[in-house]
Chains A and B, each alone.
Chain A
Amino acid sequence: MQDILEVMTSRKSIRRYKPDPVPDEMLDKILEAARWAPTGENYQPWRFIVVRDQATRDKIGDLARVGSGSRMTAWYCLGHMQERFAGIQDKEKRDKVLRFMYSGEVSEFARQSPVVIAVIGTLMEGSVDVPYDLSAAIENMLLMAHAQGLGGCWVHGPVATTRDAKKFKEILGIPTGMGEYKVIAYVSIGWAAEARKYPRPKKNLEELVYWEQFGQTERPRHG
């Protein structure tokens, strides 16, 4: 068993996959990890739809590409994307990254990942923490995938808008009523075909933690 912090800090979002299949026993472990995520009042609202079918994954990939691409094209036209990626000094490289983003290619990798797991939650009466519960389940899935040597990515793109979320539900046969199931994201799973640098740049704890009161950055002595 790897140290859990090592698993967390070495995990990266993987968007390029080899075509090799994911064995059922590895997939089962990922789903089992999701089942044990924290959940308000032990409500367990999550449901998971495991998709290996290529035609279905193609539809999800197309939806994700159009969803992300439609927003990022507009952000580029407004100048927002150029500001966001101004840190990339090499113009050719920056332009390539920007094209990757505004074309929507950044989100269409459901086509290549051997497994896509749609994460949805029941909104039956009494449910109160559905998005938070589902997010915790996704984190468990990503960590278990990584701990087994697999890559994964949490993708919100194809369900970000109300209209796209409905299309996503239709692709997978999920009831489309707004009061029935919430689609929060899908998780792609597969063998990584890219080696991303890690650990990724992160803010220092000093920038993130306050002590006793909001804004208090000095750590008090105790004991």
Chain B
Amino acid sequence: MDRNALLNQMLYRMEEVFWHELSDCASWKTEYVGIDFIQAQGIEGTNENEVIKSCIDRIKATGLVQDIEHSIGGNDILLKLKVRGCQLMLKETMLRKSGIKPYSCPVANMIRDQLIERLGYETTYLADMAPDEKTGCCALKVAIYATPEKIGAVSDWSKE
């Protein structure tokens, strides 16, 4: 067995039991997973795109993912991420096979953390996570709120 598979299996069991304890609330509790790494990287940037791009460069350099595309829309509160070649895909596949919708993404957590720490964002929320083991791509929807006034800035994300 390769080392990455072993790590994925261990993470899967941890997330499985955590979800069993907290159900959909589990995602809300895991937002710190991954932030230790990104906080040590000296991320720089004066706006969203610069900070996100800086995070992506550092994350790719670790080999955790092959590539990440990003875009911001939906009244500036929808951050879409498309992650390719993620080393955690096995964990997500195992969760889905056990009947649990994947709910925790360290890549999204790192970017969310730096929007808050570097740009003073009010809060963020991982709204949707759709890993596809066939294509090796994971589509993420993250709600990002620069200020409290952005709460309630609704739109139809299916059109984004």
Contact = CB atoms under 8 A, between A and B. Distances in A.
A152 interface: no
Interface residues of B, number: 28
Contacts of B122: 66, 70
Contacts of B153: 73
B28 A162 contact: yes
Contacts of A77: 74, 77-78, 127, 143, 154-157
A62 B122 CA distance: 11
Contacts of B128: 78
Interface in B135-159: 141, 143, 145, 148, 151-158
Interface string B51-76: 00000000000000000000000100
Given A77-B74, A77-B78, A102 B152 contact: yes
Contacts of A47: none
Contact of A67 (B30, B123, B155): B123
A66 B144 CA distance: 12
Interface in A142-168: 160-164
Interface of A is mostly: helix
Nearest to B150: A73
Contact of B28 (A66, A75, A78, A161): A161
Given A74-B143, A77-B127, A77-B157, A161 B29 contact: yes
B19 interface: no
B127 A74 contact: yes
A69 B153 CA distance: 10
Interface string B25-60: 100111110000000000000000000000000000
Contact of A66 (B32, B123, B127): B123
Given A77-B156, A78-B157, 18 more contacts: A65-B151, A66-B123, A66-B145, A71-B28, A73-B77, A73-B145, A73-B152, A73-B153, A74-B125, A74-B127, A102-B154, A104-B152, A160-B28, A161-B123, A162-B30, A162-B31, A163-B31, A163-B32
Q: Which 3 A-B pairs have the closest CB atoms?
A: A69-B151, A74-B127, A74-B143
